[in-house]
Amino acid sequence: MRISKFLISTAVIAMSFVGTTSAVAQDLTLCWASWDPANALVEMSKDFEAKSGNTMHFEFVPWPNFADRMLNELNSGGHLCDLMIGDSQWIGGAAENGQYVKLNDFFDANNISMDDFLPATVVGYAEWPKNTPNYWALPAFADVVGWTYRKDWFGRPELQKKFKAKYGYPLDAPANLEQLKDIAEFFQGREIDGKKVYGAAIYTERGSEGITMGVTNALYNYGFKYQNPKKPYDLEGYVNSPGAVKGLEYYKALYDAGTPPGSSDWYMSEDIDAYKSGQVAMQMNFAFIWPGVNVDPNVGGDRTGYFANPPGPAGQFAQLGGQGISVVANSPHKDAALEYIKWFAQPEIQARWTEMGGASAMRSVVEAPDFPSKKPYNKAFLKSMSIVKDFWAEPSYASLLLAMQARVHNYVIAGQGTAREALDGIVKDWTEIFEDEGKL
């Protein structure tokens, strides 16, 4: 009953602000993570301030503390944030707990169509329940796990000759996950330019979400599914399918055979550092780091190539990242916040967003004929965004995530038990969580 009343009230609120501008200038605070795209958004928002008369303030929190800080803000009913660029996994909880304004009526009245955005980002960043036309955010920053590789190393004739002799195919961007593991093994411990190097930097971090955001890129491609597609929350045989077992075994084999020593708790920043310092031949990371790699004095330009997460026996998928922008239901300035959403949704603003270092999910931007050739990583980005899957966006996502983090890390990194036991443990943990929620 509480939720249905909230949906009605937010629909009325949204309609009351449709097609209007603030009669009195407002001070708005936008909350997001602290990183380069956020700085670009500050600069871009000067256009909104000039056109609307509103004043923008920003609360940016470093990524390691972002979720704890902002979820606490939402859950406590705080008034800090008028606009929130929140992670995709937050949508379920924010919608069901009355923390975001539902945007359907506002979108309709202002001719903002979700058909204008990449479908995967609409599902991932905006919808709850998933695959229903109920929108709680506008896609704001498109991101996905992909790969960079030392194109200059791969192109060395002596290494090409040795690799071809050992594996029987040319040394190039891998065509599948098995080839990726071959390449990591080939470079592991090899000396290049007088320095010992290693195969690949991958996600292994345990404390937040790192190893889950990494291992899913193997699990998906070996057949792992979060649930029975025909029966929600039916986990047995899907989370722990034979293919999923092989996918988890693959990730452990990749870790054991092709990663740098001491990389048992690595996530985004550690992978970036390892790649830019010349420690590894390949790097798993979210695509948001690609512009920085491209201009890096040590590995940028023609020295680096980019590729989408390679396919496995059950298909080609990649872990979705990125965020949507929402109006916080507790904001006293919802009218002005909705004005910001309307401004941000303009095609010309979305095009500028990508040019300035953001990552638009608007199709007119990323599907423009010249987009693939504008940057050396754009082709890989487009391919990656067409194959994405995402983690649970349930209100209980944090508990679901922590359970998977522990089970997977214990097997892949600590070598405890078998892959089947780890996945069976995840089924057990998740089943208990859903039972506690009354969903089973």
The candidate with the shortest Cα–Cα distance to 393, out of 323, 335, 332, is 323
pLDDT digits (tens, 9 = 90+) for 362-396: 999 999 999 999 999 999 999 999 999 999 999 99
Per-residue pLDDT for 19 more than 80? no
**152: which 2 tokens?**
């200059």
**pLDDT band, residue 64 (cuts 50/70/90):** confident
- Say what the pLDDT of residue 23 is: 55
Per-residue pLDDT for 420 more than 60? yes
Per-residue pLDDT for 3 more than 60? no
CA pair distance 97, 75, nearest whole angstrom: 8
Q: What is the mean pLDDT of residues 327-350?
A: 98
CA pair distance 66, 86, nearest whole angstrom: 9
- Say what the pLDDT of residue 25 is: 87
- Say what the pLDDT of residue 13 is: 39
Question: Position of tokens 């980019």?
Answer: 306
The model's pTM is 0.93
- Say what the pLDDT of residue 12 is: 38
Per-residue pLDDT for 9 more than 90? no
**pLDDT band, residue 24 (cuts 50/70/90):** confident
CA pair distance 394, 152, nearest whole angstrom: 43
Domains of the chain: 2-142+321-389 (3.40.190.10), 145-319 (3.40.190.10)
pLDDT digits (tens, 9 = 90+) for 35-52: 999 999 999 999 999 999
CA pair distance 129, 11, nearest whole angstrom: 17
pLDDT digits (tens, 9 = 90+) for 253-289: 999 999 999 999 999 999 999 999 999 999 999 999 9
pLDDT digits (tens, 9 = 90+) for 347-362: 999 999 999 999 999 9
**72: which 2 tokens?**
């606490």
Per-residue pLDDT for 16 more than 70? no
